[in-house]
Each structure stands twice: as C-alpha cells, then as structure tokens.
Amino acid sequence: MKAVYTRSAKLKAPNLDKWLYHASNAAFRLEHEGPLDDRLKPHDQLSQLNVLMQLEHLMTYPIVRQQVSAGALVLSGWWFDIATGDMYAYERASRSFEVIDRQMAERMVARLATRVR
C-alpha cells in the first residue's frame, strides 16, 4: 500500500505489480474523497479503502449480486492492522472500521443469526 500511495516506480516484481494495480481505484478514491479515518497513516487509509473497493468489485459478479440480494450471501469487509495485531470489520452504520472485540463479534454473530431464520 505504501508503494501504491507514493506511486513508486515498478517494484521489479511483475506479479506484485499486477496485484497492487487493483488498489489504484482505492488510491483515486482516497485522493478525491478523503480517508475513512484521518487519524491513520496514509497507507493504512488506502488499505481500508481498498477493502471497500474489493467488496464493490465482488458485487460486479452477477452470481454474487444475486446471492447477496437473495440473502444467501453476506459480504464483510475486514481490515488487519499488522502493527497492532487488531482485526477490524467495516460497519456500514458508522461508515468506519471497528475493532473486532468480543462485543463486536457477538453483534456480528447475532446479525448473521437473524438472517438465517
């Protein structure tokens, strides 16, 4: 993400370059719309936006879109902070990534349980 954010030259790793190319839309969004959390370092801001962009990308597949619409599939955006070891889940209501602690995990399980019924 640091390489994408700083628009560094090619990394001399073609497969990595191809993989990071997909973050370019998130970099565009960060530049034009700003971060979800301006307290984070820029590469972490980009990383979080990239999670959301990948969810949007998944929704371009008709089968995914159909299954989500039917309630048979739930997509979740999770972000791992490698510096702290914390895992975060995107919460649409707050439009932010929230740390997955016991309370958050219980809310997530409860939401899924109500969908299954």
Reading the chain (117 residues) residue by residue, the pLDDT tens digits are 777 887 765 667 778 777 777 788 899 999 999 999 999 999 999 999 999 999 999 999 999 999 999 989 999 999 999 999 999 999 999 999 999 999 999 999 998 888 765
Task: Write down the pLDDT at residue 94.
Answer: 92
| Mode of pairing for the β-strands spanning 78-81 and 86-91 | antiparallel
Whole-number Å distance between alpha carbons of 68 and 109: 17
Q: What is the pTM of this model?
A: 0.83
Task: Write down the pLDDT at residue 110.
Answer: 93
Best CA proximity match to 77, nearest among 104, 96, 64, 60: 96
Give phi and psi for 79, each to the nearest 5: -135, 130
Instruction: Assign a CATH topology to domain 2-116.
Output: Beta-carbonic Anhydrase; Chain A (3.40.1050)
Task: Write down the pLDDT at residue 75.
Answer: 95
Whole-number Å distance between alpha carbons of 8 and 59: 29
CB 104 within 8 A of CB 116: no
Whole-number Å distance between alpha carbons of 25 and 65: 20
Whole-number Å distance between alpha carbons of 105 and 87: 11
